[in-house]
Structure 1
Amino acid sequence: MSLRPKEMSRRPKMPDEKTDVVSDVLETLRFKTLLFGRFELGAPWALRLPRKVNASFYVVARGGLRLQVEGLAQPVFLSAGDVVLLPRATAHVLDDGTRKVPRDFITHEQLRASSGTAVRLGGPGATTTLITGCFQFGVDPTHPLLRAFPPIIHLSTQESGRTPSLAAAVQLISAETAEPGPGSALVVGRLADVLLVQALRAQAVLAKPGEGGWRALADPAIGNALALMHERPGDPWTVERLAAAVGLSRSGFAARFHALVGETPLQYLSNWRMTRSARWLHESDDSLDAIAERAGYESAPAFSKAFKRRWGMGPGAYRRTPTLRETRLALIDT
């Protein structure tokens, strides 16, 4: 590894209260949800959505529908109270399920024109109420947890063991979009945040073998190692030190970490330091020397070299670039 973090003699200690890795990742990556509509869809109806930049989420407030995601052989059927997220922004079709192949589609342009308002589309038949939105990340969408998303995450409030907060969030977001009042945009945005966090919790518990990043959070040893790196990214972590801190041999820890996270411990640490540093540069007036030290580098030149290799520009140039919020790149991408 070409990076040379500072040397320290003290033995690492597990934090008294383990860092919440999911919250840390979402906060650092500038996670944001955007609501773009409540639709009363009368049968027969069908929506065809192309592949997009921002990932979609849907809340079924009433009725039911069929979802067909590009690349997946079987459709998914949703009923009232269900939430579905398409993290990879894959092209998909939503319809009332009355025909094998929908013929008449509500166009992409109609959805864009209806953005932010409650409107009725489709025919005179049974109505499905659908709340739609998207979520996006302003920094480093290549984080292992984001790469590990499956094509679809389906949450049902009817499933046994599902937390009451999911059903409560669905009810509240449905009520708030049905009768919006002062501050509704803020309320709905926060409720949408809750839905995404619920989905992430479910992934950490239910992730399959191919969905590595989320299984790592549920693994006691690897989850604790991730918490340590997030709690103290500037510490001089080595594979040996991390393995000792979580009670594994060096080789066993390294193999398990790579299998669950998808990259080596030091690759993860290096990338996370760069992600955190990017945020520090935009959100503080700290000197490069101070940020280099916080990120675990011996000098500003060593830090600058690593930062440029990761982001394609030096930290000074990066600091001068506008943030997503300032440039308003976080436009709704329906």
Structure 2
Amino acid sequence: MPPDGKTDVVSDVLETLRFKTLLFGRFELGAPWAVRLPRKANASFYVVARGSLRLQVEGTAKPVFLSAGDVVLLPRAPAHVLDDGGRRTPAASDFVPSQLLRPPSTRLGGTGPLTTLITGCFQFGADPSHPLLRAFPSIIRLSTQEGQGTPSLAASVQLITAETALPGPGSALVLGRLADVLLVHALRAQTALGGGGPAGWKALADPAVGNALALMHEQPGTPWTLEQLARAVGVSRSGFAARFHALVGETPLHYLSNWRMIRAARWLRESTDSLDTIAERAGYESGPAFSKAFKRRWGVGPGAYRRAPVDSVARASDFSASHGAGRQ
């Protein structure tokens, strides 16, 4: 919990959704080179360990130029093209065949200056439609150059670069933890935008709405009403409802209901508590009421959800096919 005693909403969201790094790859690309990646399900990220590159994301007008030490996160994994940036547009002959992007790889591309690119992706273990995740822009660029980044970001990039250069026993675990740090830095960057950020992230910077979110995350089982939440954060009922919807994109009670279902899904997977116990923790007076709400949210009842296997193989192999990275 932060020093002010208020629940850290960002940490709670990430911990509950249980994101993980699925894959990692490291590639040496000599100019001229280009790589075309289709749209995928998992959030992609790139670390530029050496050299520079140009990123053109489908649906955006301007390319993003990255240099050594930069990190870019594509939260919604849109179709995109990476290239060395040496021409106005890459030539057809510049493109590296996707079947070559598989470790262990040698130098790919041409004989020009090298770019060392480290790739990976994030997968969320529960529903990834949380308002904070929906509010991500299509591209998040983090830089360690010219004092733009924090010391911990720079250290993480250096460690990822070193670990992928000389992997050893436990490297998959080390790289997964370091990638977690990169995602947290991306979240912090959006939070730091405050009033200038998109809806969702503005909510955390708003005193009333941010405090209400913290209360709902700290006490999801409390039978909150709109009036109680507004009173707890010191604003009028109507003003609170309007501001919450404007900043989060949904009503306070809809947010609370959805968050309870996400938490309940995790409790079902990770505990042996009875359905009645989980129902009470999620703020429901009876097991049947909870089961009905859970099935409406997830499409299956809580018992069936608990028994179903966790399916992540398809999404992991889908990323591997396009990025050529190896499973951790």
TM-score (norm 1): 0.90
Change (3 A) 1:207 1:95: farther
Identity of aligned residues (%): 78
**Equivalent of 1:60, from 29, 34, 48?**
48
Instruction: Give, as a single letter, the amino acid of the residue that structure 2 aligns with 1:32.
Output: K
Question: Offset at 1:330?
Answer: 4.1
Change (3 A) 1:274 1:175: same
Q: Decide whether the 8 Å contact of 2:241 with 2:252 is kept in 1.
A: yes
Q: Decide whether the 8 Å contact of 2:38 with 2:79 is kept in 1.
A: yes
Q: Decide whether the 8 Å contact of 1:324 with 1:330 is kept in 2.
A: no
Separation of aligned partners in 2, 1:218 and 1:110: 45
Question: Offset at 1:294?
Answer: 0.3
Separation of aligned partners in 2, 1:127 and 1:239: 57
Q: Decide whether the 8 Å contact of 2:195 with 2:205 is kept in 1.
A: no
Q: Deviations over 1:227-286 (max 9, x none)?
A: 111111000111111111111111111111111110000000000000000111111111
Q: Decide whether the 8 Å contact of 1:37 with 1:118 is kept in 2.
A: no
Alignment of 1:1-334 (within 5 A): 17-103=5-91, 104=93, 105-111=95-101, 114-115=102-103, 117=104, 119-158=106-145, 160=147, 162-206=149-193, 211-324=198-311, 330-331=316-317, 333=319, 334=323
Q: Decide whether the 8 Å contact of 2:42 with 2:315 is kept in 1.
A: no
5+ residue gaps, structure 1, are: 1-14
Separation of aligned partners in 1, 2:14 and 2:311: 15
Question: Offset at 1:202?
Answer: 0.3
Separation of aligned partners in 2, 1:165 and 1:264: 36
Separation of aligned partners in 2, 1:118 and 1:189: 21
Question: Offset at 1:136?
Answer: 1.2
5+ residue gaps, structure 2, are: 324-328
Separation of aligned partners in 1, 2:109 and 2:116: 12
Q: Decide whether the 8 Å contact of 1:61 with 1:128 is kept in 2.
A: yes
Question: Offset at 1:162?
Answer: 2.6
Question: Offset at 1:34?
Answer: 2.6
Q: Decide whether the 8 Å contact of 1:48 with 1:107 is kept in 2.
A: no
Question: Offset at 1:329?
Answer: 5.3
Q: Decide whether the 8 Å contact of 1:65 with 1:96 is kept in 2.
A: yes
Separation of aligned partners in 2, 1:234 and 1:330: 34
Instruction: Give, as a single letter, the amino acid of the residue that structure 1 aligns with 2:219.
Output: R
State the SS of the aligned residue for 1:36.
Answer: strand
Q: Decide whether the 8 Å contact of 1:307 with 1:313 is kept in 2.
A: yes
Structure that is richer in helix per residue: 2
The total of aligned residue pairs comes to 316
State the SS of the aligned residue for 1:119.
Answer: coil
Instruction: Give, as a single letter, the amino acid of the residue that structure 1 aligns with 2:295.
Output: K
State the SS of the aligned residue for 2:260.
Answer: helix
Separation of aligned partners in 2, 1:328 and 1:286: 30
Change (3 A) 1:161 1:224: farther
Instruction: Give, as a single letter, the amino acid of the residue that structure 2 aligns with 1:166.
Output: L
Q: Decide whether the 8 Å contact of 2:212 with 2:233 is kept in 1.
A: yes
Change (3 A) 1:42 1:57: same
Question: Offset at 1:140?
Answer: 0.6
Aligned to 1:6: none
TM-score (norm 2): 0.92
RMSD of aligned residue pairs (Cα, Å): 1.7
Moved more, 180-189 or 84-93: 180-189
Aligned to 2:326: none
Change (3 A) 1:149 1:199: same
